[in-house]
Structure 1
């Protein structure tokens, strides 16, 4: 029986290598790309709605910023629950539920009659939706690849970059033509159509299709990407995990400040809402480049070294924001900051796989991302209230520079992954 199964798996693997036959792992990457495009595109389009929500509900910038912080806290924090659920029940149902929640939250936000209702609709809908879909989708990609894991992970999460590029621009266009309420409803319909259909392509483990990582024959259970590796409790008590957790927590206090406040910053300095959305789009362009560039570079120089570079790069580029008040230098900031941010997003899941293996990869990523959840809850809101007090973003930007430097130093203390992992 074992020989027959092995032979069947080898045959399927050979089928995948025939000319014109695409390895199914790339369909999983495409599905994860679409899920992150929809989820994070919906989340990061929030910056385009800040001014409209302030005017509609006579709210301060700090109060409006809390909408995004609630969503961010939930979508990073919920991975601690949805990651283990995906390891046990599969990633596809989690991703589908997530896309339904994102779409529902956007539509309900369009009908909100108070800022509290926006907190509940957008904050809970988008927050829970991305929380259900992000970690399971990205975690699954790690199982399908070994040799090209950095590139595949970067390609999957480049959906975040494309979402950051297109969704804020689309939101600004819809707000200008249809008003903010109909803009939210339209984005919700788009999210349902694209997100749910693509989530159906997710398959949890290559062995279920008679394959191994990268399209090879299926590995024995003890060596397969879905079975080998540390237990969840063992991983979270280890030094590498604790170091990555601290780095993620510290950096995330400043990491998402541009995603909420770059558009209002631009309009404060005389630029149009469309120009502000363009600047946020530049973050998306850079983010996409970073996922491809640093994902590939990391496979050569080591993912730990590349993560240090990502944190240090974000800190350096934030200096450009601190010194800029016009479109061109701010566009340069958006592009360069986004590049290093994209590298950070691509590298964290791949490093989890490097250090801890694939048996509990989604669960470990989920626990790790609670660090980012805590920082996201505090950072953008604190930046908004700092602006309300000073009518200036300098303090928030300087704080963001500092926390990214500290995160880079923390990762530099990490031991290298076991031999055989970059």
Structure 2
């Protein structure tokens, strides 16, 4: 008596492998970048540098990894995300290794800035753009998981770097982190597939022609998108907000050290941003799918600005942990929602290129914000001025988003699945 062969179980939708690859790339890329706060004091001591000069290393890298999206985004739309992600991860690892061998702060700035900056710049926008194409109904949730790698990286990598520095020194630590990030990142990038149609699928896993799935929209050209009022409002809001967004990543550890908090505890405070950020990316993206992604994005702008007020009043470790958790929550939601809002507004045909242009606003803010904060500290011996400016700039960005939502600038594209398309 022969038994019937067991039916194979349902295959996992390949879009989740793309999400996994994006998660790992963002974890290694941004996690490596945000170890800079752990290296801040050793670099400053090694090269007898001011905080303004030292923080310029981070600002230069940040400018490149967001600014490079204007090139990598359109390239990904044309040639695919996978090769760019692989090259980006190799560049990132090489830059960290070369930073460990640097003989001056200028060489650190060039190696770290060009390697980490271009490495993330070539990989981040392409992999995040690819995720947007694989999902429709659950786009906010999938995007949130993909970029939650940044939060996990912020939680794990700075404490790891601090431990390595204590045992191996800052030079060998940079080399070890660079080698691991380059090899693992390049390997996992091979999982990235640019579009579900390359696998004979539709967004969310439906087969071609499925009545439950609509075809991937063609979407706007980059020129039409960039010249639209919707994009201009979003760009201006991100530009204002980003002046302060990355100040904590460069200066929270030095701030904690100034208030007598031990270095090991100070690095874990930075890691608390990663905890909050991971929660924001995992949960707020899914909530935004139900409540409306544009309105949720506005809440992220307001939340980050208000969190700066907590930082201004914090002098003890537990207070800084509260700030880091709250700030991380809204920062994580902000990062998760931006690509989804772009996809909602402009479609999938050029989503990588449009996200890349949008992120140049963040690049300019990142170039100015952390380095200006360091210069302000050198002049005033206090972080109160940069914290206050960061809060005001964030609220100004929130006001722009509020006006845009009120005038329905963001409301022209809608779908059948929810309130905001």
TM-score band w.r.t. shorter chain: over 0.9
- Once residues 171 and 332 of structure 2 are traced to their aligned partners in structure 1, the CA distance between those partners, rounded to angstroms, is 30
Match of 1:216 among 200, 206, 225: 206
Deviations, residues 342-388 of structure 1 (Å, cap 9, x unaligned):
00000000000000000000000000000000000000000000000
- What is the CA distance between 1:20 and its match in structure 2? 4.2
The residue matched to 1:413 in structure 2 has which SS?
helix
The residue matched to 2:35 in structure 1 has which SS?
helix
**1:348-367 → structure 2 map (5 Å cutoff):** 348-367=338-357
**1:116-155 → structure 2 map (5 Å cutoff):** 116-155=106-145
Q: What is the match of residue 3 of structure 2?
A: none
State yes or no: 1:337 paired with 2:327.
yes
The residue matched to 1:80 in structure 2 has which SS?
helix
Q: Structure 1: any 5+ residue segments left out of the alignment? A: 1-16
**RMSD between superposed Cα atoms in Å:** 1.4
- Once residues 360 and 306 of structure 2 are traced to their aligned partners in structure 1, the CA distance between those partners, rounded to angstroms, is 25
- Once residues 409 and 19 of structure 1 are traced to their aligned partners in structure 2, the CA distance between those partners, rounded to angstroms, is 50
**1:1-400 → structure 2 map (5 Å cutoff):** 19-218=9-208, 224-225=215-216, 228-400=218-390
The residue matched to 1:399 in structure 2 has which SS?
helix
- What is the CA distance between 1:189 and its match in structure 2? 1.3
* Maintained 8 Å contact 2:132/2:348: yes
Deviations, residues 306-357 of structure 1 (Å, cap 9, x unaligned):
1110010011111111001111010010011000000000000000000000
* Maintained 8 Å contact 2:52/2:374: yes
- What is the CA distance between 1:301 and its match in structure 2? 1.1
* Maintained 8 Å contact 1:279/1:330: yes
The residue matched to 1:112 in structure 2 has which SS?
coil
- Once residues 337 and 98 of structure 1 are traced to their aligned partners in structure 2, the CA distance between those partners, rounded to angstroms, is 28
Deviations, residues 254-283 of structure 1 (Å, cap 9, x unaligned):
110000000000111111111111011000
- What is the CA distance between 1:218 and its match in structure 2? 2.6
- Once residues 218 and 32 of structure 1 are traced to their aligned partners in structure 2, the CA distance between those partners, rounded to angstroms, is 25
* Maintained 8 Å contact 1:161/1:285: yes
* Maintained 8 Å contact 1:206/1:218: no
Match of 1:419 among 414, 417, 420: 414
- Once residues 38 and 419 of structure 1 are traced to their aligned partners in structure 2, the CA distance between those partners, rounded to angstroms, is 35
Misfit runs of 4+, over 4 Å: none
- Once residues 24 and 99 of structure 1 are traced to their aligned partners in structure 2, the CA distance between those partners, rounded to angstroms, is 22
- Once residues 170 and 224 of structure 1 are traced to their aligned partners in structure 2, the CA distance between those partners, rounded to angstroms, is 44
The verdict on how the C-alpha distance between 1:18 and 1:352 changes in structure 2, with shifts beyond 3 A counting, is farther
Q: TM-score, normalised by structure 2?
A: 0.94
The verdict on how the C-alpha distance between 1:384 and 1:18 changes in structure 2, with shifts beyond 3 A counting, is farther
- Once residues 95 and 164 of structure 1 are traced to their aligned partners in structure 2, the CA distance between those partners, rounded to angstroms, is 20
The residue matched to 2:74 in structure 1 has which SS?
helix
Number of paired residues? 404
- Once residues 29 and 355 of structure 1 are traced to their aligned partners in structure 2, the CA distance between those partners, rounded to angstroms, is 21
* Maintained 8 Å contact 2:18/2:192: yes
Match of 1:401 among 387, 391, 396: 391
Q: Structure 2: any 5+ residue segments left out of the alignment? A: 1-6
- Once residues 219 and 393 of structure 1 are traced to their aligned partners in structure 2, the CA distance between those partners, rounded to angstroms, is 57
- Once residues 156 and 209 of structure 2 are traced to their aligned partners in structure 1, the CA distance between those partners, rounded to angstroms, is 40
Deviations, residues 103-135 of structure 1 (Å, cap 9, x unaligned):
000000000000010011001100000000000
The verdict on how the C-alpha distance between 1:103 and 1:237 changes in structure 2, with shifts beyond 3 A counting, is same
- Once residues 143 and 309 of structure 1 are traced to their aligned partners in structure 2, the CA distance between those partners, rounded to angstroms, is 25
